[in-house]
């Protein structure tokens, strides 16, 4: 195997559904579909890992990657931060948000906690988040926050980013299950 093949395989393991690409035009139908994805994520994740052993949950989804347990806790951490960012953008004028070191967070003790804690948090968080998202109009979706590393982010695009983010990490888990023969 050559370096290009190794790189392509690593890219496929890192991004099993590809990288996020925002459409040129974001309309209400697209946002609605993304909100549906966000709403479904906790149920879909729970369905996949239900009944998994601790050993499976502590298996890395790729060489050098996080364990499934860390991925699930990362989803809870990341999506909690996203909800806060939405609320800042809806209640303040173009706020600069606080970035965080997701890799460092994934090494904290709570990322080794039982996955039920992350799954329960995702259930409640996504129920509340989708309630907020479904209330937004075009003006709300046009509001922005400023990420200190990447610049301005519109809320409409951010809905898409987090719909993708959930599907991206779900695919890490389902791809691992398929490779290991754990898929039901």
DSSP per-residue letters across 77-108: HHHHHHHHHHHHHHHSSSPBPPP--HHHHHTS
Percent with pLDDT over 70 in the chain: 98
CA-based nearest residue to 173, from 40, 46, 82: 46
Average pLDDT over residues 40-62: 97
Determine the pLDDT at residue 129.
98
Cβ atoms 65, 72 nearer than 8 A: no
Percent with pLDDT over 90 in the chain: 91
Global pTM? Answer: 0.94
Q: Above 80 in pLDDT, residue 5?
A: no
Determine the pLDDT at residue 133.
98
Q: Specify the CATH class of 26-180 in words.
A: mainly alpha
Distance between CA atoms of residues 157 and 5, nearest Å: 32
Q: Where are the domains of the chain?
A: 26-180
Distance between CA atoms of residues 13 and 16, nearest Å: 6
Determine the pLDDT at residue 1.
55
Cβ atoms 22, 30 nearer than 8 A: no
Tens-digit pLDDT profile for residues 110-130: 999 999 999 999 999 999 999
Cβ atoms 172, 47 nearer than 8 A: no
Distance between CA atoms of residues 106 and 89, nearest Å: 26
H or E segment at 152?
A: strand 151-154
Q: pLDDT category, 10, cuts 50, 70, 90? A: confident
């Amino acid at each position: 195997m050559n370096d290009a093949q190794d790189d392509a395989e690593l890219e496929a393991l890192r991004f099993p559904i590809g990288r996020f690409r925002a459409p040129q035009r974001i309309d209400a139908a697209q946002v609605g579909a993304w909100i549906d994805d966000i709403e479904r994520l906790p149920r879909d994740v729970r369905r996949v890992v239900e009944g998994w052993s601790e050993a499976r949950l502590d298996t890395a989804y790729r060489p050098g990657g996080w364990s499934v347990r860390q991925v699930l806790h990362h989803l809870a951490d990341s999506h909690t931060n996203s909800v806060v960012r939405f609320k800042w953008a809806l209640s303040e004028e173009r706020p600069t948000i606080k970035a965080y070191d997701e890799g460092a967070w994934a090494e904290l003790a709570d990322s080794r906690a039982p996955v039920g804690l992350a799954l329960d948090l995702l259930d409640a968080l996504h129920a509340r988040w989708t309630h907020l998202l479904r209330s937004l109009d075009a003006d709300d979706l046009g509001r922005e926050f400023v990420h200190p590393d990447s610049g301005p982010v519109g809320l409409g695009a951010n809905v898409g980013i987090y719909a993708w983010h959930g599907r991206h990490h779900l695919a890490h888990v389902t791809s691992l299950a398929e490779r290991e023969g754990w898929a039901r």
